Amino acid sequence: MVGDQDYFVITTNVEHCFQKAGFDKKSLFYTQGDYGLFQCSEPCCEEIFDNEDLIRQMMKEQKNMRFPTELHPRKSNDRLFISMVI
């Protein structure tokens, strides 16, 4: 769609669709966040993490609307980063 042109997209789309369509995530700004990403639950860094594989695993292993504690996403310093990017 944009080819080799320089671009920047501002969107209210929260389902990670622009990245799935091949747009560079560095050129996207989600005004309402992105449900396809996790971010640290504390403001210790600016990293974001794709979450599709983990979410699918959580859905597969959940029982009674709960998933196993060991599936809580953690960074190497053991801080939870369970927040969606909002």
Q: Each residue's pLDDT tens digit in the chain (86 positions)?
A: 777 889 999 999 888 788 888 898 889 988 888 888 888 777 777 778 888 899 999 999 999 999 998 888 876 665 555 555 65
Is residue 3 one of the residues assigned to a domain? no
Residue 7: what pLDDT? 92
The Cα–Cα gap between 39 and 34 comes to 10
Is residue 66 one of the residues assigned to a domain? yes
Is residue 2 one of the residues assigned to a domain? no
Is residue 69 one of the residues assigned to a domain? yes
Structural domain harbouring 65:
9-85
Residue 43: what pLDDT? 73
Residue 29's Cβ-side half-sphere holds a number of Cα atoms within 13 Å equal to 5
Number of domains in the chain: 1
Is residue 38 one of the residues assigned to a domain? yes
CB atoms within 10 A of CB 51: 21
Is residue 4 one of the residues assigned to a domain? no
Residue 83: what pLDDT? 58
Is residue 1 one of the residues assigned to a domain? no
Rg (CA), the chain: 15
